[in-house]
Amino acid sequence: MIYLVLSILVSSLLFVIFKLFDVFKINTLQAIVVNYAVALSFGFLNSDVSLAVSEIPNQPWFFGAFCLGVLFISVFNVMGLTAQKNGLSVASVAGKMSVVIPIIVGIIAYKESAGIVKLIGILLALVAVYLSSAKSDSSPVKFKNLLLPLLLFFGSGCIDAGLKFVETNYVANNEVPMFLATIFGCAFILGSLFVLVQVINKKLKFHWKNVLGGIALGIPNYYSMEFLIKALQTKGLDSSTLFTINNVSIVILTTVFALLFFKERLIRKNWIGIGLAIVSILLVASA
């Protein structure tokens, strides 16, 4: 249970760090690339398994790690933009309501139960993302305000489902740090290519604060994933229940951070959306 508590705390911190990037005008892409270099280093340092770089592509989990690496850097950029443009509460709701996606995958792939209560919970999650993205109580949500939260919703859901699938079928307990290091390494290589394009186009302006921001992001990013995977490996704790407790707690904690530290203003629709988010995850977990 301690790993679940640590996962909640560290994952909530990630949203706060992204919001601080906007406050201190840190380049999100550059910081994310540095973040993955830091996370990659922590993965190798914490690994009990010694593998040569040439051996990693031969591991049964490598293809899954590569695909997750592509998703990681893509979704991380979307998460940063959502937190900065839509607010912390919207980013946390959109990212954590995505728990319905691994649950849907569980219903299809693992033949888990699919009762009416669970289906209602899934539908409420989609409504929650919509309402939490609203900027006005009197007018409908504009597509430009909904695009980033929706991308974050589906991207985060695919990451959770992919992690669960690869971890369950291919990753031994002592291989978790090396598996994570490979994911972060793939994300770092892809991010470096994006930065290289900026260099070629002379759009890159180097600042040390971007490096410091990446270091500040990379350490909790690594441990958020390690704690989550270790929590998933806890015997007797169902994955749908674990994802539910994890995601509801992050939504609540991040909203508290947004209100206390960033003075974010939530309209009535946002509060309803956050409430529906909590109810939907609880319904999905109890079904």
Q: What is the pLDDT of residue 74?
A: 92
Q: What is the pLDDT of residue 277?
A: 84
Residue scoring higher pLDDT (161 or 138): 161
Q: Domain-by-domain residue ranges, the chain?
A: 2-286
What digits encode the pLDDT tens for the residues 30-55? 899 999 999 999 888 888 777 778 88
pLDDT band at 146 (very low <50, low <70, confident <90, very high): confident
Residue scoring higher pLDDT (205 or 19): 19
Which of 19-28, 211-220, 253-262, 268-277 is predicted most confidently? 211-220
Q: Has residue 29 got a pLDDT over 70?
A: yes
Q: What is the pLDDT of residue 148?
A: 92
Q: Token pair for residue 114?
A: 């699919």
Q: What is the pLDDT of residue 113?
A: 66
Q: What is the pLDDT of residue 21?
A: 92
Instruction: Report CA-CA distances (Å) from 190 to 28, 36, 61, 77, 244.
Output: 15, 10, 19, 12, 31
The torsion of the CA quartet 175, 219, 65, 47, rounded to 10 degrees, works out to -20
Q: What is the pLDDT of residue 182?
A: 92
**How much is the average pLDDT of 65-92?**
90
The torsion of the CA quartet 104, 110, 116, 118, rounded to 10 degrees, works out to -50
Q: What is the SS3 assignment for 3? A: helix
Q: What is the pLDDT of residue 160?
A: 85
pLDDT band at 255 (very low <50, low <70, confident <90, very high): confident
For the chain, the distance separating the N- and C-terminal CA atoms, rounded to the nearest angstrom, is 22
**How much is the average pLDDT of 109-124?**
77
Q: What is the DSSP letter of 142?
A: P
Mean pLDDT over all residues of the chain? 86
Q: What is the pLDDT of residue 237?
A: 66
Q: What is the pLDDT of residue 217?
A: 95
Alpha helix stretches (DSSP H) within 233-267 = 239-261
pLDDT band at 64 (very low <50, low <70, confident <90, very high): very high
What digits encode the pLDDT tens for the residues 196-245? 888 788 777 778 999 999 999 999 999 998 898 888 777 776 676 777 77
Instruction: Report CA-CA distances (Å) from 71 to 16, 38, 77, 160, 276.
Output: 21, 18, 10, 11, 27
CA distance 221 to 46: 14
